[in-house]
Amino acid sequence: MAAMRKYDSPWERPLITSTIALLAVIAFTAIAGTSAALQANMRGIALAVSSFSAAVAIGGWALAPRGFTIGDGRVRVLRNGWLAHAIRLEDVRSVALLPSDALGGSLKLLGTSGLFGYYGLFRSPALGSYRLHATRGTGLVLVRTEKRAYVLGPEPAADFAEALLAAAPRARREKLRPAR
C-alpha cells in the first residue's frame, strides 16, 4: 500500500487581505445591526443578526481548504472544520496544471472568493462548470472525472499533479488549449 501524501494549501497575500476586510465588514454589520435592534427593543432581531453573522464567519472558515492528500484510493480536500471532500482515484480521467489566467471570466454560482479561501461551484468559458478548492489564484491543478471538474490549489502543484497521475489508474495528462 502506497503512503498517504499530504500537500499544503498556503494562503496568498490577497486572500489574507480580503479575509481581514470581509471579517471586518461582518463584524461591523453584526455590531451595528445588533446595537440598532437592541435600541429598538427587538431582542429577537438582535439575536438573529448576531447569530447569522457568526454563522457566516464560522461557516466560511469551516468549509475552507487547508490541504490535500493522495492515498487510500482517494484524493481528499481537507477542510478546516468540515468533513473532507473525497474524489475516488479510479474516477480521475485527466490532470493538468492550469496557466495563471485559466480562471479568467469565471462566474461564481455558489461559494466564496476571498473569505478564508476560494471554494465552491464556478463556471468559466474555458473550463465549463467546476468545483474550486484553493487558497490562491495561481499554481492550480485541474482534475477531471467523468461527472465533474475540480480545480485544486495544492503546494507544490507540479508534484501533486505528477503524484495524482501516478496514483490514478485511468488518468492521463490533459493538454489545455491556450487562452485567447
Q: Tens digits of per-residue pLDDT, 84-111?
A: 999 999 999 999 999 988 888 899 999 9
pLDDT in tens, the chain (180 residues): 567 999 999 999 999 999 999 999 999 999 999 999 999 999 999 999 999 999 999 999 999 999 999 999 999 999 999 999 999 999 999 999 999 888 888 999 999 999 999 999 999 988 999 999 999 999 999 999 999 999 999 999 999 999 999 999 999 998 876 655
Parent domain of 130: 7-180
Residue 87 in any domain: the answer is yes
pLDDT digits (tens, 9 = 90+) for 6-30: 999 999 999 999 999 999 999 999 9
Residue 22 in any domain: the answer is yes
Bridge partner residues of 74 (DSSP): 71, 88
Q: Residue 131: which residues within 8 A CB-CB, separation 6 or more?
A: 85, 119, 120, 121, 122, 148, 149, 150, 151
Predicted local confidence at residue 178, as pLDDT: 60
Predicted local confidence at residue 175, as pLDDT: 82
Q: Which segments of 40-154 does DSSP mark as H helices, in order?
A: 43-63
Q: Which of 134, 124, 8 is nearest to 63 (CA)?
A: 134
Predicted local confidence at residue 75, as pLDDT: 97
Residue 118 in any domain: the answer is yes
CA-to-CA distance for 22 and 57, rounded, in angstroms?
9
* SS3 of residue 160 by DSSP: helix
pTM: 0.90
Residue 113 in any domain: the answer is yes
CA-to-CA distance for 160 and 116, rounded, in angstroms?
22
Residue 2 in any domain: the answer is no
Q: In what order do the strands lie in the sheet with 5-8?
A: 5-8, 65-71, 74-79, 85-88
Predicted local confidence at residue 101, as pLDDT: 86
Residue 1 in any domain: the answer is no
Predicted local confidence at residue 176, as pLDDT: 77
Domain count, the chain: 1
Residue 103 in any domain: the answer is yes
Predicted local confidence at residue 47, as pLDDT: 94
Q: Which of 79, 96, 80 is nearest to 164 (CA)?
A: 96
Residue 176 in any domain: the answer is yes
**Do 141 and 160 contact (CB within 8 A), yes or no?**
yes
